[in-house]
Amino acid sequence: MGTEGGNVRVIAGRYRLESRIGRGGMGVVWRATDQLLGRQVAVKEIALDDSLSEQESRLQRDRTLREARAIAQLRHPHIIVVHDVVVEDERPYIVMELIDGGSLADRISRRGPVDAREAARIGIDLLSALRRAHDAGVLHRDIKPANVLVEAGGDRGDRVVLTDFGIAQVAGATTLTEHGAFVGSPEYTAPERMSGVRTGPESDLWSLGALLCTALSGESPFRRDSLGGILHAVVFDEIRPPAQAGPILPVVRGLLERDPERRLDAAEAERMLRVFRDTGRTPRPAPGTPGYTPTQRVALKKDTLKRDVPTRQISRPQASGAAQPPPKRSTRAVLVAAALVAAMAGAGVSAAALLMKDDGGGGHGGTPTSTAPHTSPGTSPGTTPSTASPSASTPGPTVTVTRSSNASPATHSTAPSGYRLASDANGFTLAVPEGFTRVAQGERTFYMSSGEVIRLGIKVADPEEGGPTGVMRRAAADGPSTNPGYRDGRVTETTHGQHPAALWEFTWDGFTRAEGARHTYDLCWEEGGRMYDVWVSAPVGKVREAREYFDVAVDTFVPS
C-alpha cells in the first residue's frame, strides 16, 4: 500500500511523490525521489477509467505494464529512460528519468521558433530515436512538441528527449487505447490514423513533419479554430509549410506526404538533414528511396511572394513521360475514410466515435475540396498534382488549390534549397532547379536540365474560349496527334489560388526509342486577364524529380 505523510505519498515502498510536474490524457507526472537509490525521478501515474468493468480494468493495467516494459528496453540517448514499472493499489506507475528542462512546446512559447539549423538538429535526434523504436516494433503515436523534452546540455548543446510513450503501440499487442476513444493530438495526427484503418511507422513520421513546422514557425500548419477544421486541414486542405521551412523543404515535403506508402522514410530524412547541417544545403531524396514519390501538393507559404501582375496564356503540353502508378486501394480507402470523418466532424458529429470507426474501403463520398495538383493546358510538360492520382475506375475528388488569401504583394525573397529564383524576360519569376538552363522556343520558355532530359516549360498568353478547362480539354483531344503513343490522359478542373485552373496529365512514347516513355504534368490557370501554363516533362524513371520541380515551379510562380 502507498503511504502518505501530509501531501507526500510513497509508492512501492521507495518512490516518494513530491510535486506534480505535468498532466496529460493518460495521467499525471510527479517529481519524485527514489529513496532506495537516493536519486530524483519522474513518476507517471496512469489514469484508470472508472467506467470499465473489473476485467477490463485488469486488461488495461496489463497492457500498460506490457507496453511500458517494452519501452524500457529501448536504450537510446534521445528516448526517455524507463527505470521501473510498479503497481500500487491496482494502479500502474511508470518510473522514468527526470529531465532537467521543459518541453519543446514550452521552449517555443517562451523563446519563439528555432532556426533551420536547430530544427534540423532536433529532427535528426528524433528520427534517430524513432528508428530505434520502430526497429523494436514500438510506435509512439503522439509525436508533438509537448512530448519532446529539452535538457540543458552546456557546451555539448541541449539534449532532445522523446517522452510520453503513454499511447504507444507495441507490434502484436492490442493497444492501450483500442477499447473506445481516440487518443492523440489531431494537429499532429497522420490522415491514415484519423480513419482508424491503419497505423504504422509512417504515421509517426508525418507527426514529426508537423512538429518541425511548429518548431520553425511557432504554429502547426494544421491549426484551425475547430476540430472539424483541423481534420479537414489534415485530410484535404493544401499543405502549406511555413516560409521558414524553406531551407529544409524537401524533408518537410517528404514527411508531410498524405499517402503513407510514398512518405519519406526515417533513414533518408535523417540523412538529408545531416547533409543540411554539414553543408547548409538540403539534398533531394536519393534515387531509389523506398516508397518516396510526392503525390500531395505541399506548397511553401508565399507570404513574401508578389502575386499581382498577370501575363499571357497557355499552350498545350509537349510530350513527356511516365505515368505515376495509382495508389493502392487500401491507401485510397484510408484517405476516403478520413475524408468522411473530416466532413462529418465538421457537421458536428462526435469526433471520438468517428475517429475510431473503421470505414473500410471507400468507393463513394462527396467531391471534397482538396489540396490537389493543378495543371494547365499547353503544349508542354505538365505539373505535379496535389493529391494522389485517382485510379481509372474510381473518380478522384475535385481539387481546389488555394493560396494564402492574405499573401501580400511583396517581393520574392528566397528559393527553396537546391533552387534559384529566375526572373524571366517574358514577365514572370519562379524557382527553378539549380543547373537548369533557359531555352526560348517561340512563345514558350523552357528551363532544362543537363541534356534536356527534364523540361520545365512556361507559356503566357491571352485567355481562350472555354477558359483553362476548355484549353486543356482541346489539347487532350489533340494528344494522339501531337504526342506519339499518347495514353493515360486526364484533365481535372480545379483552381489555382482563387483562379480557375485545369490540370492535364498524360504519358507518351517520348522523343527517342532509347530514352523511352515520358510523363507530363501541365497546369493552366487564368489570372488577371492572362492565361498561364506551367508544365514539366520527364522520362518515366525521373517522374519523382519532375513532380517536385513542378510543385515548386507552380507554387513560386509570380507574374511581373
The pLDDT profile of the chain, 560 residues, written as one tens digit per residue, is: 444 444 679 999 999 999 988 776 567 889 999 999 999 999 988 877 777 777 877 777 777 777 677 778 888 999 988 898 888 887 889 999 998 888 999 999 999 999 999 999 999 999 999 999 999 888 888 899 999 999 887 556 689 999 877 554 554 443 334 434 445 688 999 999 887 666 789 999 999 999 999 999 999 999 998 888 898 889 888 888 998 999 999 999 999 998 888 899 999 999 999 999 999 999 888 766 654 444 444 445 444 333 333 333 333 333 333 334 434 444 444 454 555 454 444 443 333 333 333 333 233 222 222 233 333 333 343 333 333 333 333 333 333 333 333 333 333 446 887 889 999 988 899 999 999 999 988 889 999 998 889 999 999 999 999 999 999 999 999 999 888 999 989 999 988 888 899 999 999 998 888 778 899 999 999 998 899 999 999 998 888 788 889 988 998 899 98
Instruction: Give which of 340, 334, 469 is closest to 388, Cα–Cα.
Output: 334
Segment (H or E) for 537: strand 530-539
Instruction: Give which of 72, 86, 201 is closest to 141, Cα–Cα.
Output: 201
Angle at 451 between CA 449 and CA 456, to 5 degrees: 35
- Contact between 468 and 526 (Cβ < 8 Å): yes
Distances in whole angstroms, Cα of residue 261 to Cα of each of 132, 206, 257, 289, 329: 20, 12, 9, 12, 11
Instruction: Give the ranges where 6-157 is alpha helix by DSSP (H).
Output: 54-72, 104-111, 116-135
DSSP per-residue string spanning 362-377: -S------B-------
Task: Report pLDDT for 255.
Answer: 95
For the four alpha carbons of 500, 506, 508 and 511, in that order, the dihedral sign comes to: positive
State CA 541 to chain mean position distance. 24
Pairing state between β 487-496 and 399-401: parallel
Distances in whole angstroms, Cα of residue 6 to Cα of each of 9, 10, 16, 42: 8, 11, 12, 20
CATH code for residues 104-256+260-279: 1.10.510.10
Q: Do domains 3-97 and 367-559 have the same CATH topology?
A: no
Q: Would you tell me which CATH number, out of the four given (3.30.200.20, 3.40.50.300, 3.40.50.10190, 3.40.50.620), belongs to the domain 3-97?
A: 3.30.200.20
Task: Report pLDDT for 322.
Answer: 38
CATH code for residues 367-559: 3.40.1000.10
> What's the chain's Rg over C-alpha atoms?
26
Residue 303 catalytic? no
The binding site for ATP comprises 44
Would you state the cell numbers that stand for residue 151, as one nine-digit string? 535538457
The binding site comprises 44
Task: Report pLDDT for 472.
Answer: 95
Name residues whose C-beta falls within 8 Å of residue 109's C-beta, 6 or more positions apart in sequence. none
Instruction: Give which of 333, 397, 371 is closest to 555, Cα–Cα.
Output: 371
Task: Report pLDDT for 397.
Answer: 31
Task: Report pLDDT for 335.
Answer: 52
Domain ranges of the chain: 3-97, 104-256+260-279, 367-559
Rounded distance between C-alpha atoms, residue 325 and residue 55, angstroms: 48
Name residues whose C-beta falls within 8 Å of residue 520's C-beta, 6 or more positions apart in sequence. 317, 318, 319, 320, 321, 380, 381, 382, 504, 505, 506, 507, 508, 535, 536, 537
Task: Report pLDDT for 268.
Answer: 95
Distances in whole angstroms, Cα of residue 110 to Cα of each of 21, 86, 113, 321, 341: 17, 35, 9, 50, 35
Q: In the beta sheet, which residues pair with residue 535? A: 522
Query: Which one-letter DSSP state was computed for residue 449?
Result: -
Q: Which of 49, 84, 100, 142 is catalytic?
A: 142
Name residues whose C-beta falls within 8 Å of residue 179's C-beta, 6 or more positions apart in sequence. 52, 56, 60
